[in-house]
Structure 1
Amino acid sequence: MRATFISTSVELGLRFVGIWPGLPYGTVTWYAYMTGLMVGTYFEYVYIFHHFDISNISNLIDALSIALAGSLGFFKLISLWSRRRIFYDILLAMDQDWSDALARDRSVLSVMSSNANLSRRCSNVLISINTTAAICYTASSFTRHSAGENLNDSVRLLPVKMQFPFEVHASPFFELLATAQLFHMVSIAALVAMINSLIITLILHVSGQIDILRRELLTVCDEHSQSGSIIAGIRLLITRHQRIITFSDNIEELYSEIALMQFLSNTVVMCCIGFTIIGSIAEDGATIVLLKSAIFYIAVTLEAFIFCFVGEYLSAKSKSIGDAVYESLWYNKTAAECRILLFVILRSQKRLTITAGNVVDLSLEGFTSVMKASASYMSVLHAMY
């Protein structure tokens, strides 16, 4: 299978967790990675329970924000794995669209290639941002040690707060475990960015198909077209419109639960990170804490914005199909031809959208609600502390 829209970085991420179709031993790869991820997340929550101290709430919230972000990535991967059959159908539909584009004029291929290049650039940028945030967060602990804050091996801290049932401070075991934590954080951050990049890729593919459909609607309704060719052309375009609707419904089914988890988790995580940033301003070593927390906050906020933006973008694109029909030369056509065009307009009035658990549509208004809620909770925590 060759889906041209999928960037190399996203494909590598899907192969890494065993979700890419046709991958040898994909199930074994999936269970091996998820087992390691679950073990790491378990020790993070053990640390939270063992260090649950309201007097040191800054440390508690810092550990909780990382644990929640890791849990979100864990459940996202489970949701994607459970719906991998839908994902395979989406890849087949994309492959079919590219095959059709190669058989049509170069302008169609140009539109699809332009959106494909944009999706690749977005994927690389998102994965780079998340990876940088993970590296900065874990490297800050090594910076503290090199600065001389913790020179005694017995009190050395791991980059990620975890509670193990054995001694971890002796060398070289401490260094090996710290390196494993770095890989753990980077892999989660990159895979979460991969999932976010995948939805951008799918939405850009749909938008490219909509742009092609709009242009062909204007062409088929040209005043020089024959009556019989208009009806035959519109029937073909209605079939393509239905394929776009089916593709969008598959995206909705694939990402609905993921979007709901994203909304709930980001509200809490952004609240926790924001509180950590505010609480560390007046403390010693604030520069290091601000560095790791600020980049982490940007990455988490960007996740919520991506989901809301692509939902808003898809809705606007779907409504533009009806606008294209209305902007055509429909007034020069017969009543029978206009009735067919009217059905296209009516169908396009039902927006294509992505929902968060079939509860709320993803939109920029939803992103504003998430930011307001996280800021409100952060203010309450700061007042209590």
Structure 2
Amino acid sequence: MKIDNTLSKSMEIVLRIFGIWPNSSYIWLRRLFWTIAVMMEQVLEYRWVVTHFYSVESFEVMKILSETMTYTIMLIKLITFWVKQRTFIKILTMMATDLENRTTDEVSMITMTYYANLSRRLNNGTIVIYTMSILFNCSNLFANDEKASNSSTKPLILTMDLPFDLNQTLIYWLIIIIQFFHLMLSANVHGMLNTLLINLILHAGGQIDILCKWLTEMFPTEEKLSEKRSLNPLMIQKVIKKHQQVIIFSEKIEEMYTNIALVLFVSDTLIICCLGYTLVMSVGTPDGIKIIMRIILFYVVSNMEAFTFCFAGEYLTNKTSSIGDAVYNSCWYEANSKDSRFIVFMIMRSQKQLTITIGKVLDLSMERFCSIIKASASYISVLTAMY
């Protein structure tokens, strides 16, 4: 089954660069490279946090710590996708099958084309937002700061405790270029893996819409009752298979993202707290405007990440409920009892809602997003009172 055109081209390119896309060339070499690169970056950044924890302002430490934790989350996401490569291949294969079968049905063609275009726009929008966030974060290199004239305090894009001197201009700008491209690629894959979840959820929602449309049209209405008194057995089989495919597809998504959601539920609370504390404490400082301009988009992106996961879980749950509603609202009472018997099983199965869980413990929903924001605000107030 050909899966090359399953997702948008921008999504496929990013996944190929990081060794996630199936059958990519030199896939193990790419995974080894990014593992070493991110691990080195993590060691140098955490080293800076430990050595400067008491020597710099607390909000500066919080800012660097939040950036470092973001890289930790990204590495966990990459490892999860690498380990669950077979599950990801099954998901793409199921999507490719649905895309091939859409030409046989007008409802499928319209619905899947709409969701495919929506997913493509989301992917492109994600790249724009994360790229702007990186450019704002790099603005400190071009700010007119007297400290930058001192070679020992030259600013870096990613604050690290490097084991060598940056006095030489060539070495300094080589590090800046490496950090820029490293940060740009890492940020985009971090955002794309979040958007991938929305792509998969939208695909599942499209399949549910198709299923609901079939259920509405398969039972005879009062006008057609004289023409057709029994249902087509092939249509019944088609509806049942589609429902089963939706269930399996949703379970595969849950398998891919449940552990990632568990990590995000804890880490995003801390990251949003650290960034919020930095924003609050930087107000009124001499460089407050510069600090706020640098991290405001980073703060927005961190909130968007938590919102994306919680929205995906809420959306999938609501879509599942619509299956039972569509079955009940159809004209099942116009068919004979033998044909309408199978709808009881569909209503019963749809009552077991499909969702994405946080480590198989809690369901992702907008209520969880509110709890993340509330917890972060509480931690900010505690940190503000302490320092």
Same fold (TM over 0.5): yes
1:96 shift after superposition: 0.6
How far, CA to CA, are the matches of 2:99 and 2:139 in structure 1? 45
How far, CA to CA, are the matches of 1:37 and 1:134 in structure 2? 17
Residue in 2 that maps onto 1:187: 185
Structure 1 SS opposite 2:360: coil
How far, CA to CA, are the matches of 2:191 and 2:59 in structure 1? 27
1:335-358, Cα deviation, whole Å (9 max, x unpaired):
222321111111111111001111
1:233-283, Cα deviation, whole Å (9 max, x unpaired):
222211110011000000000011111111111100000000000111110
1:131-182, Cα deviation, whole Å (9 max, x unpaired):
2112211x222123x4444212232122211001211232111111012111
Q: 1:54 to 1:336 in 2, by over 3 A?
A: farther
1:111 shift after superposition: 0.8
Runs (4+) of structure 1 exceeding 4 A deviation are: none
Counterpart amino acid of residue 159 in structure 1: I
- Given the alignment, which residue of 273, 276, 285 partners 2:275? 273
Please tell me whether the aligned partners of residues 257 and 357 of structure 1 are also in contact (alpha carbons under 8 angstroms).
yes
1:68 shift after superposition: 0.5
Residue in 2 that maps onto 1:157: 155
Higher mean Cα deviation, 211-220 or 221-230?
A: 221-230
Q: Does residue 331 of structure 2 align to residue 329 of structure 1?
A: yes
Residue in 1 that maps onto 2:382: 380
1:228 shift after superposition: 4.5
Counterpart amino acid of residue 216 in structure 1: W
How far, CA to CA, are the matches of 1:140 and 1:285 in structure 2? 13
Residue in 1 that maps onto 2:25: 24
Higher mean Cα deviation, 338-347 or 313-322?
A: 338-347
Q: 1:54 to 1:372 in 2, by over 3 A?
A: farther
Please tell me whether the aligned partners of residues 220 and 229 of structure 2 are also in contact (alpha carbons under 8 angstroms).
no
1:89-121, Cα deviation, whole Å (9 max, x unpaired):
00100111111112x133321110100000010
Counterpart amino acid of residue 74 in structure 1: L
Please tell me whether the aligned partners of residues 231 and 335 of structure 2 are also in contact (alpha carbons under 8 angstroms).
no
Residue in 1 that maps onto 2:202: 204
- Given the alignment, which residue of 215, 218, 236 partners 2:216? 218
1:230 shift after superposition: 3.8
Residue in 1 that maps onto 2:41: 40
Residue in 2 that maps onto 1:117: 117
Please tell me whether the aligned partners of residues 254 and 356 of structure 2 are also in contact (alpha carbons under 8 angstroms).
yes
How far, CA to CA, are the matches of 1:314 and 1:199 in structure 2? 11
Structure 2: 5+ residue stretches without partners: none
Residue in 2 that maps onto 1:96: 97
Residue in 1 that maps onto 2:74: 73
Residue in 2 that maps onto 1:352: 354
Structure 2 SS opposite 1:335: coil
How far, CA to CA, are the matches of 1:83 and 1:369 in structure 2? 29
Counterpart amino acid of residue 86 in structure 1: T
* Alignment RMSD: 1.5
How far, CA to CA, are the matches of 1:91 and 1:202 in structure 2? 9
How far, CA to CA, are the matches of 2:199 and 2:25 in structure 1? 25
Please tell me whether the aligned partners of residues 214 and 321 of structure 1 are also in contact (alpha carbons under 8 angstroms).
yes
Residue in 2 that maps onto 1:126: 126
Residue in 1 that maps onto 2:168: 170
Structure 1 SS opposite 2:333: helix
How far, CA to CA, are the matches of 1:5 and 1:302 in structure 2? 25
How far, CA to CA, are the matches of 1:54 and 1:353 in structure 2? 46
Equivalent pairs, count: 382
Residue in 2 that maps onto 1:320: 322
Structure 1 SS opposite 2:383: helix
How far, CA to CA, are the matches of 1:88 and 1:243 in structure 2? 15
Q: What is the TM-score normalised by the length of structure 2?
A: 0.95
Counterpart amino acid of residue 373 in structure 1: A
Structure 1 SS opposite 2:57: helix
Counterpart amino acid of residue 14 in structure 2: G
Residue in 2 that maps onto 1:288: 290
Please tell me whether the aligned partners of residues 154 and 170 of structure 1 are also in contact (alpha carbons under 8 angstroms).
no
Please tell me whether the aligned partners of residues 44 and 162 of structure 2 are also in contact (alpha carbons under 8 angstroms).
yes
Residue in 2 that maps onto 1:303: 305
1:33 shift after superposition: 1.7
Please tell me whether the aligned partners of residues 37 and 74 of structure 1 are also in contact (alpha carbons under 8 angstroms).
yes
Residue in 2 that maps onto 1:85: 86
Q: 1:232 to 1:155 in 2, by over 3 A?
A: closer
1:199-246, Cα deviation, whole Å (9 max, x unpaired):
111011111111111101111112337455344422221111001100
Q: What is the TM-score normalised by the length of structure 1?
A: 0.96
How far, CA to CA, are the matches of 1:244 and 1:169 in structure 2? 59
How far, CA to CA, are the matches of 1:157 and 1:75 in structure 2? 28
How far, CA to CA, are the matches of 1:354 and 1:379 in structure 2? 31
Q: Does residue 3 of structure 2 align to residue 2 of structure 1?
A: yes
Residue in 2 that maps onto 1:15: 16
Residue in 2 that maps onto 1:142: 141
* Aligned-pair identity (%): 37
Structure 1 SS opposite 2:296: helix
Q: 1:25 to 1:55 in 2, by over 3 A?
A: closer
Please tell me whether the aligned partners of residues 222 and 328 of structure 1 are also in contact (alpha carbons under 8 angstroms).
no
How far, CA to CA, are the matches of 1:74 and 1:81 in structure 2? 11
Counterpart amino acid of residue 256 in structure 1: T
